[in-house]
Structure 1
């Protein structure tokens, strides 16, 4: 009770109040920072996470360009209702090659962290061209312009820039970027060379024209890989908050 009795003296004295605030900030900062010096990494170690293939990375750039993050998050929080609806909660490791990450916080539409493999390529194409064709109540605008040819002139430069900030692309992957991109968008062979560099990449034509790689091919390839890299049957489960 004596603490509360003299509390008004602390609040009415600028000097003591400033000292009190400073001490609180110092203690709080130490509590947050000191534990980080005793752990190797804040990112979980999980198998399967790889850099995006050239086609997927091009699709991700289109996703950002079109502002898809304004209405769709890519982060499933560790709460029971979210896990039951969207799947396993998001791991930090899944976003370690994202620059910038697409967690977002707005959900006008559903979260897309686990959308890969949930729908067919054809569904995605129809949804992009006219969302009401597959989701009658959708308020999402159409993106028919994505059927235009994909500009591949900047893909090697983009991958080089990503390598500088830590994405482990090899020189060979950067040199073969356009070739790998074209192969992924036109071939469905299980022995395709691109699969050796980018396991689980979704292969094959998307837009109905295997002779032309379009922005639609790239965007759908990106969407189809989201949430598919990690085998969650091998990830140690943790308690999910209710």
Structure 2
């Protein structure tokens, strides 16, 4: 399906939505309408800069949560691959922590780190960490053993085996986890902002919903959807760049 097909589908969808809202088939109080959504986006992202600042807070929190969570997960995954006994010992504890609903931890994070950016990073970190950890361990252990045997035969050092065979071979699996980790970091940050925050799109989303500004709510949902798509696309491009040698 080409660009024209998608553009045509969206045009028909938005036109039907606008018509239904004007005819009273959909109550704009609960669903908004495309004209109002476009007007909100224009007023707050083109004519004004307030929501750009809030967007910046959310993006910064997401990136910090994703980077810190991913680095911690990759390092932990490497340790688990090198010391499998340690992984078996810690597995019940990690499984229990991963099973905890993150939203239930939000009050603790707010108590520990306050209403600022710290509690939002903590929410995103916990979601990113376990996703990237599982993909790192799976990627490292999924390396073709024939390649390992061949490098041993050729006299490669452990460092050479890691950087020339293990790491390149694990990148596709690790990046599948990183893509999900970035999206979940964004979800964790926005959820934390919705619950309690001083800044961020999530805080704005909660305020607009409480005042029944559905055009604003729908507009911010569109922005968040675009942000998630851009993050996924960026990670895919980075993966292709790193694997261009294949």
Specify if TM > 0.5. no
State the TM-score, normalizing by the size of structure 1.
Answer: 0.24
State the TM-score, normalizing by the size of structure 2.
Answer: 0.23
